[in-house]
Structure 1
Amino acid sequence: MAGCGFCKRADNEPIMFGEMCQQGGLRVHENCLYHASNLTQRGEDDEGFFGFLFPDIQQELQRVAQKKCCICRQQGASVCCHRRRCYRTFHFPCGRERGCVSQFFGEYRSFCWQHAPKQQVRLVPQEHPQCIICMEAVDEQPNYNTLVCPVCVTARFHRHCIQGLALSAALYHFCCPLCRDM
C-alpha cells in the first residue's frame, strides 16, 4: 500500500496521523496536510481534502520534495518550526516521535523539540500521579508526554490518552474528565 505523499508512511492510526485521505493517486494523512507549513485551505470544507485543494497539495509536495527531515534525514519534510530563525524542518510523525509540538487550533503552528512551548501550571502535589484516563503512572512534572488540566491542576494525562479523548469528544464537547471544564 502506498504511503502518505508527505511523510511516506502508510500507517492508519487516527490519533497520530488523522484520517488517510485518498483520491486518484494522491494519498495524504490529514495531520500532514494541516501542518504542512506552506499549505493553506483555499477551498470550502467539502472541496479537495478538508478545503485543501488538489493543485495546492501537489504544489506543496513538489516544494518539499528535496527538503530533508532533521530527524530521519529523509526527503519530503513539510513541517517547519514556527520559531523565528529556526530552520528545522521535519515530517509530522517524525516530529511527534521526537517531542515536537503541533498545535491543533488557530494557525496550526508547529515547533521543534527545542522550541516547543512548555505547559506552565501551578501543580497540586500528588504522591503517585496517574493518568486519569488509563490509570497508569505519569511523570510528576508536566512535559511532552505528561499534561495537566490548567483549571483543576490535579488531573494529569498522557499526551496520547488526552488526544484520543479529544478526538472522540470533538471540539464542542471536549472537557477535562475530572473537573468538566472546557
Structure 2
Amino acid sequence: MNKRIQMSVIAIAMVAASGSAFAADQGAFFINGNLGQSHFHSRYYTDNTGTSSAERVGYAWNLGSGAGGLGVEAGYVNLGRASVSAYDGAYSASAKLSGPVVGANYKYTFNNKMFVSVRAGWFRSKFDTKVSGIGSQSFSGNGAYSGVGVGYDITPHFSLGVNFDEYHGRATVYGTKAKQAVSSLSGFAEYRF
C-alpha cells in the first residue's frame, strides 16, 4: 500500500478515536494541503531550492470563545530536491527529502476571521540520494518540524493562508549521523468538516 495512503488511514483512525472522546467540544476534522518553495540550508548545494508540498489530516478542538483551537495532525511532506555539480557538470549529486509527520497545532482566530497558527511535531525524514556514476540510495531517521502561519476563514469550513515551516531531517549515513535543515514557504488551503 502506498505510504501516503497508509499514513492517511492511520491519521484518520487516530483523530477519529480522539474526536469521539471529546465529541461535546464542537471541534472539527480537517484536511489541508500546502504548495510552495523549499530552501535547503547547506553551503554545499549549488541548487538548494525546490518545490515543496504537504498534505495533512487531523482534528481540532475548540477551547472556548476567544481561546482558539488545539489540534492533532498527521500527514506527508515532500520538500523537493537540492543538487550540486562540479567540474563543469562531470560530477553531480542530489538529495530529496520527504516523509510522514505527526504533531500538534494551535490556531487563534480574530473577530475579522483572520487567524494565526503554530505547529510542531515529529518528522520521519527520508533522504533519497543520487550520485552520478555511483547510483541511488535512501537513508532515514527521526527528525522534527515546526511552523507558523497566517490565514483567513473564507467560510466556517474553508480557509486560505500562508505557512512558514522548518524541517530538521536526520539520518544515519554509513555509520555517521547526518542532518539537514530545510525551510518551506507555502500557500495552503484547508477544509473542515
Relative contact order (alpha carbons < 8 A, sep ≥ 6): 1 or 2 greater? 2
Point out the structure with the larger strand share. 2
Point out the structure with the larger helix share. 1
- The alignment's TM-score, normalised by the length of structure 1, stands at 0.26
